[in-house]
Amino acid sequence: MEKAAFEAWLESVSTSFLALNDQQRNQSLDHLISLSGAAQLRHLSNGLEALLKRDFLRLLPLELAFYLLRWLDPQTLLTCCLVCKQWNKVINACTEVWQGVCRDLGWRIDESIQDAVHWKGVYLKAKLRMKQLREEDAFETSSLIGHSARVYALYYRDGLLCTGSDDLSAKLWDVRTGQCIYGIQTHTCATVKFDEQKLVTGSFDNTIACWEWSTGAKIQQFRGHTGAVFSIDYNDELDTLVSGSADFTVKVWSLSAGTCVNTFTGHTEWVTKVHLQKSQVESMMHSPGDYILLSADKYEIKVWPIGREINCKCLKTLFVSEDRSVCLQPRLQFDGRYVVCSSDLGIYQWDFSSFDVVRIIKPQQDPPSISLLSFGQVFALLFDNNYLYVMDLRTEAIVGRWPLPAYRKSKRGSSFLPGVTSWLNGLDGKNDAGLVFATSMPDHSIHLVLWKENG
């Protein structure tokens, strides 16, 4: 057929085809397909693939493509990266998507880093770390050996662990190497706290002492309690030391002079925890920047102002039950915004600006036996007689655990502690390192749980 005649015929057939209804059009196509040979069918297949199998990710504006990708789970995203180079390029350019999946896993997000490939790498590392937590493969253990009697007091900061023992000594250990840096002769230690230059110890002999690491010399002694000193805290800037005792009192001391400047009464049980911290929020009773003292006994947490005034009044008393039917566990945490304490009913969180209970995390088992070690913005570290637990506070689900040996139990909670806690506010690939948990053992050694290097 000549070209002109063919074009006229094609125009006539097209006009007639457009006049048909859908059923007639389908029948016409079926008939034409039945008459077609291999060359026509191959041509038809190639044309249909281009029309029907359109690469929407390539065709959509990047903003729309990124929006759609946010709805995909991480594993699907990784699979999509394998489709073709163009898909891999688009997905690897979507910073918000990879930041989002990292955030979902509990990772800290640095908004200043807008490199999507970086965040994809972070996600892969985060995914491995969370898998290790689930499979009890995130941690490893070691021991510190050197004391010859019961170890009753522990304190950790900046990679160093201080231990106080009934063998009348205190030792400072490098957690990474397991080496003892200092060992000095002291009294029996019920509680310890240290910095680069000095060690402060509270004792079962009712006194507090300050020691110099480099020489082991006692540079200050604090006398005034009539019962064992179970907890201490100090602030060099304020020249203030605070202590809680079995004599039911809280004392405020001049750190440099060793003199008692105030005694707080009102507790009717042993004061097992004192905490000196700057407030970060405002209320009718305090302003941001004010130093606040918290003291805890078996049933109550009391809030005190810090000043040189005699007969300071308690600002507030926090409790779980007014009739004292529920005991508080000896773990008290205060970051200037929230007070967190564990109890027989669960973990309680108070807003420090209003003193209202803003959250209660109920134990998942009955009877409740899980206790609080440390509480963050994303994760909490918990433990019982057999395991260490990592809880995702966004879902209150246990996302990891680690078996514990038969460690020494202490009703005051002094013989075990958390290590590095910054990761509880969100992992970042760097803070999942170092000490996680330390506890004294019946054989006088110290059992350490440490992060395993993230492979």
Query: Per-residue DSSP letters for 151-171?
Result: EEEEEEETTEEEEEETTSEEE
Last residue of one domain, picked from the residues 135, 164, 184: 135
Measure the CA–CA gap between 411 and 371, rounded to whole angstroms: 12
In a domain, 391, yes or no: yes
| Mean pLDDT (whole number) for 158-187 | 95
Measure the CA–CA gap between 92 and 406, rounded to whole angstroms: 48
Residues 393 and 244 in one domain: yes
In a domain, 53, yes or no: no
The rounded mean pLDDT for the chain is 89
The per-residue pLDDT for 197 is: 93
State pLDDT tens for residues 339-378: 999 888 889 999 999 999 999 998 776 545 788 999 999 9
Number of domains making up the chain = 3
The per-residue pLDDT for 368 is: 57
Residues 149 and 42 in one domain: no
Quickly state the pLDDT bin for 412 (edges 50, 70, 90): low
Measure the CA–CA gap between 175 and 437, rounded to whole angstroms: 11
296: nearest Cα among 237, 236, 359, 233: 233
Last residue of one domain, picked from the residues 111, 135, 159: 135
The per-residue pLDDT for 215 is: 93
Vertex 267: Cα angle to 164 and 227 (nearest 5): 40
Measure the CA–CA gap between 48 and 36, rounded to whole angstroms: 15
Sorted by sequence, the CB contacts under 8 Å of residue 130 that are 6+ apart come out as 105, 106, 399, 400
* pLDDT(47) > 60: yes
Q: What are phi and psi of 376, to 5 degrees?
A: -120, -165
* DSSP 8-class letter at 182: E
In a domain, 52, yes or no: no
Residues 334 and 218 in one domain: yes
Percent of the chain with pLDDT over 90: 56
Residues 211 and 265 in one domain: yes
Residues 310 and 262 sit within 8 Å (Cβ to Cβ):
yes
Measure the CA–CA gap between 305 and 376, rounded to whole angstroms: 25
Sorted by sequence, the CB contacts under 8 Å of residue 111 that are 6+ apart come out as 99
Residues 372 and 310 in one domain: yes
In a domain, 55, yes or no: no
| HEC letters along 9-45 | HHHHHHHHHHCCCHHHHHHHHHHHHHHCCHHHHHHHH
* pLDDT(310) > 80: no
Q: What are phi and psi of 393, to 5 degrees?
A: -70, -15
Measure the CA–CA gap between 330 and 29, rounded to whole angstroms: 81
Task: Give the number of other Cβ atoms within 10 Å of residue 434's Cβ.
Answer: 17
Task: Give me the helix-helix angle, 95-104 and 62-69, nearest 10°.
Answer: 10
Domain that holds residue 253: 139-451
State pLDDT tens for residues 432-443: 999 999 999 999
Of 30-44, 132-146, 180-194, 253-267, which range is least confident?
30-44
Q: Where do the DSSP E strands lie in 335-411?
A: 338-343, 346-351, 357-361, 371-375, 379-383, 387-392, 397-403
Quickly state the pLDDT bin for 51 (edges 50, 70, 90): low
In a domain, 8, yes or no: yes
Vertex 47: Cα angle to 46 and 49 (nearest 5): 65
* pLDDT(73) > 90: no
Residues 131 and 145 in one domain: no
Q: Give the residue with greater pLDDT, 71 vs 411.
A: 71
Residues 388 and 274 in one domain: yes
Residues 447 and 407 sit within 8 Å (Cβ to Cβ):
yes
Quickly state the pLDDT bin for 157 (edges 50, 70, 90): very high
Q: What is the CATH number of the domain that holds 75?
A: 1.20.1280.50
Residues 168 and 187 in one domain: yes
Residue 391, CA distances (Å) to 127, 204, 350, 403, 437 in order:
16, 35, 19, 15, 15
Q: Give the residue with greater pLDDT, 129 vs 415.
A: 129
In a domain, 74, yes or no: yes
Vertex 26: Cα angle to 20 and 32 (nearest 5): 100
Quickly state the pLDDT bin for 313 (edges 50, 70, 90): confident
Residues 76 and 24 in one domain: no
Residues 179 and 441 sit within 8 Å (Cβ to Cβ):
no
Task: Give the number of other Cβ atoms within 10 Å of residue 4's Cβ.
Answer: 8
The per-residue pLDDT for 389 is: 94
In a domain, 406, yes or no: yes
* DSSP 8-class letter at 444: S
* pLDDT(390) > 90: yes
Q: What is the CATH number of the domain that holds 398?
A: 2.130.10.10
Measure the CA–CA gap between 252 and 274, rounded to whole angstroms: 11
Is the sign of the CA dihedral 150, 187, 244, 435 positive or negative?
negative
Residues 127 and 158 in one domain: no
Residues 294 and 360 in one domain: yes
User: Which residues, in sequence order, are bridge partners of residue 153?
Assistant: 164
Residue 244, CA distances (Å) to 263, 269, 271 in order:
10, 11, 5
Which long-range contacts (C-beta less than 8 Å, at least 24 apart) are formed by 55-59? 55/86, 57/86, 57/87, 57/90, 58/86, 58/90
Last residue of one domain, picked from the residues 135, 153, 184: 135
Residues 143 and 128 in one domain: no
The per-residue pLDDT for 231 is: 95
In a domain, 34, yes or no: yes
Measure the CA–CA gap between 85 and 87, rounded to whole angstroms: 6
* pLDDT(49) > 80: no
pTM, to two decimals: 0.81
The per-residue pLDDT for 411 is: 64
